[in-house]
Amino acid sequence: MQVENDDNDDLTFNFSGKTVCVTGASRGIGREIALAFARDGAHLILTARNAEALEPVAAEIRALGGDATCLSVDQRSVETIRSQIAPLGRIDVLVNNAGVEEVCDTLDIDEALWDKIVDTNLKGAFFVAQAAAAKMAGFGGGSIINLASLTSFVGVPGAVPYSASKSGVLGMTRALAAEWAPKGIRVNAIAPGYFETDMTSVFYENREWVAQMVANIPVGRLGQLSDLTAAVEFLASSGAKYVCGHCIVIDGGYLAKI
Q: Which residues pair with 72 in a beta bridge?
A: 48
> Which is nearest to 92 in space by CA: 145, 13, 47?
145
Q: Report the SS3 class of residue 174.
A: helix
**Rounded-to-integer distance, Cα 246 and Cα 235, Å:** 10
| 162 in active site | yes
Looking at 162, 194, 204, 254, which residue is catalytic?
162
Q: What is the mean pLDDT of each run of 10 residues along the chain (258 residues)?
A: 46 92 96 97 97 97 96 96 95 97 94 97 98 96 97 92 98 98 98 81 79 91 91 97 98 90
**Rounded-to-integer distance, Cα 33 and Cα 144, Å:** 13
Q: Which residues pair with 142 in a beta bridge?
A: 185
Q: Are strands 68-72 and 93-96 parallel, antiparallel or unpaired?
A: unpaired
- Residue 77 is predicted with a pLDDT of 96
CATH dotted code for 19-257: 3.40.50.720
Q: Which residues are within 8 A (CB) of 136 and not within 5 positions of it... i.e. 6 or more apart?
A: 91, 92, 94, 142, 144, 183, 184, 185
Question: Domain residue spans in the chain?
Answer: 19-257
Q: What are phi and psi of 109, to 5 degrees?
A: -70, 130
- Residue 1 is predicted with a pLDDT of 32
- Residue 3 is predicted with a pLDDT of 37
What stretches of 35-165 adopt beta strand conformation (E)?
43-48, 68-72, 93-96, 142-147
